[in-house]
Amino acid sequence: MDATGLIAGLLMIATGFLVKFFPNLIAGYNTMSKERKEKVDIEGLSTYIRNGLFVIGLTIIIGYYLFKWIGLSDIVDYFIPTVVLVGVVVMVVNTKRFDHNKFKDMKSNLKKYFVGFVLVFVIGILIYGIIPSKVHFTDDSVEFTGAYGTEISTASIENLQLSDKRPTINARTNGLSLGGVKKGFFKVEGLGKTRLLIHSGNGPYLIITTKNGEVTIINFKDKADTESAYQRILALIEK
């Protein structure tokens, strides 16, 4: 079972409790002078952030698996970053009530809080994106976990191919491109819109085309893992 939603949600919850126990981790507050810190309700602020991150984490866990359960896989691809971004913006806007410094200082600190949270958000998304996908098999499907992961019914597979040729990417429509890691939706020469779950710039590449024309290209850092996935899927198709 894909644990991506559970891991992402638990990370948010754990971060909330970490901030509660160590308030100096809060961006903006940790750089204040002693005098300014005394005018911040740090007990209320740290509790608010803990509760906010707890709600965000719980929403991720419940929403992620709910959308997976009802079959809205496309929404799942955007769900985690959307929940985190919206949640963080709401939290940042509300943190000002815990800062009793002068308005100018409050405005400056609010910006620091916002920048800090955005940096955490961006770093979190990058880390989430580069986490290697895993492959899980059932009697009638194959599932690739992680960011932009997907579950494919073996009965829906029209063509399965293992190729050493590196796909030529014309454009990225929605996804992550970081070094050899390419995850998300890209326009690939000769294939059009394609889901990529590429973890290495070296082949082979597993190409799955379904009967409705959707194309997914996967490879793993270890060549043997890609070849093994190909053989397992081929065996399921030929059953």
pTM for this entry: 0.56
- The yes-or-no verdict on residue 73 having pLDDT over 70 is no
Q: What's the chain's Rg over C-alpha atoms? A: 22
Percent of the chain at pLDDT exceeding 90: 10
- Looking at the DSSP bridge assignments, the partners of residue 181 are 178
- The yes-or-no verdict on residue 226 having pLDDT over 80 is yes
Q: Which residue has the tokens 């194309």?
A: 215
Contact between 27 and 117 under an 8 Å Cβ cutoff? The reply is: yes
Digit-coded pLDDT (tens) for 31-66: 777 887 788 888 888 888 889 889 998 998 888 888
Q: How much is the pLDDT for 60?
A: 87
Q: How many residues does the chain have?
A: 239
Confidence of residue 146 (pLDDT cuts 50, 70, 90): confident
| H-run or E-run covering 174 | strand 169-178
Q: Domain spans of the chain?
A: 4-130, 135-237
- Looking at the DSSP bridge assignments, the partners of residue 74 are none
- In degrees and rounded to multiples of 5, residue 204 shows phi and psi of -80, 170
Q: How much is the pLDDT for 208?
A: 92
By the 10 Å C-beta count (0-12 exposed, 13-18 middle, 19+ buried), 45 is classed as buried
Retrieve residue 189's tokens: 């020469």
Retrieve residue 46's tokens: 């740290």
Q: How much is the pLDDT for 217?
A: 92
| H-run or E-run covering 9 | helix 4-21
- The yes-or-no verdict on residue 74 having pLDDT over 80 is no
Digit-coded pLDDT (tens) for 82-137: 787 788 778 877 877 887 776 545 455 555 665 666 666 666 666 666 677 888 88
Q: How much is the pLDDT for 4?
A: 65
By the 10 Å C-beta count (0-12 exposed, 13-18 middle, 19+ buried), 198 is classed as buried
